[in-house]
Amino acid sequence: MIIIQNLVPGSKYSIKCPHSMTPQFVVIHNTANDASAEAEISYMIRNDNEVSFHYAVDDREVVQGIPENRNGWHAGDGGNGRGNRYGIAIEICYSKSGGPRFDQAEKNAAELTADILRRYGWGIEKVTKHQDYSGKYCPHRTLDLGWQRYLDMVSAALGAGSAAPDTSAPSTAVYKVGDMVIVTGYPCATAAGEKPGARLAAYRGKITRVHGSGTHRYHVDAKGWCRAADLQPAGSTAAPVALKAGDRVRVKQTATTYATGQTIPAWVKGRTDTVLQAKEDRLLLRDIYSWVKRADVERL
């Protein structure tokens, strides 16, 4: 699972997240539609309704739309309501139709929830639901399937520690300065009281270099601290991470020609795009609709 940040622009703070916030708990929602997390957040940002939430989670990824230190409008308990003013809102996608992609979205949401609890040092009692604030039957499908079941999923994810879902990730790995690592899971930057992750979020899934080490922590590419469990050895060859359809990538500024040989125009360089089709050495990107060499993109 990956987290993508698509944060609401400052120009829309007055509508979407007018108040600064010290979060006190998580509020779980179901979207009651069949849109992806990416679509859910883009729609939230695009419209001018006083409706907003911090995260949308689907079966493939987590998309963050509001920083955790701003409030959202999601709990239906008014301008000074506890839910709206102190809750980190998570929308679980595909709840209208349910099925395997909803089940996976719920699992991903449980992992995200566990990660938030871990970052703030909270217990399971900090996991609340929309229904607690306004009586609305939300998260509807999660409630149908069993609220305690969702809490158990979060507890299980918490119990699993900070390890990435990939169980092949060695939790006791020791790295030294100069080692190449892949940032997995949820990077954390809690050393010296720093807030976790915005700068490091961009490093998820990428190969980067260890610049320093502390107790169970590694300073990565001069950007911040990662827990050992959030890193995997990249090996000495620094082989690129495999990409698949749906992954978000950026075309490197150094790219010169497409996989098909034509010159890459300037407007394509530095652009972010989504992988439509992936082959070992090349990727078809959705927006520019061209095949780009694997070595010419970096994963976001």
- Interface residues with Zn ion (CB under 5 A) are 29, 130, 138
In the complex, the smallest distance separating the C-beta of residue 30 from Zn ion, rounded to whole angstroms, is 7
Q: What stretch of H or E contains 199?
A: helix 198-201
CB of 27 to Zn ion, least distance (A): 8
Between 84 and 162, CB nearer to Zn ion: 84
Q: Which is nearer to Zn ion, 29 or 118 (CB)?
A: 29
CA torsion angle 86 91 96 97 (round to 10): -150
Q: Cβ closer to Zn ion: 37 or 138?
A: 138
Q: Are 2 and 62 in contact (CB under 8 A)?
A: yes
CB of 82: closest distance to Zn ion in angstroms?
Answer: 15
Q: Is 168 exposed, middle or buried (0-12, 13-18, 19+ CB in 10 A)?
A: exposed
- The smaller minimum CB distance to Zn ion, of residues 130 and 223, is found at 130
| Separation between Cα atoms, residue 218 and residue 222, nearest integer Å | 10
Q: Which DSSP category does 20 fall into? A: B
In angstroms, give the least distance from the CB of 91 to Zn ion. 7
Nearer to Zn ion, 77 or 230 (CB): 77
Give 49-62 as a DSSP string.
SS---SEEE-SSEE
Secondary structure class of 272 (helix, strand, coil): strand
The distance of closest approach from Cβ of residue 29 to Zn ion in the complex, given in angstroms and rounded to an integer, is 3
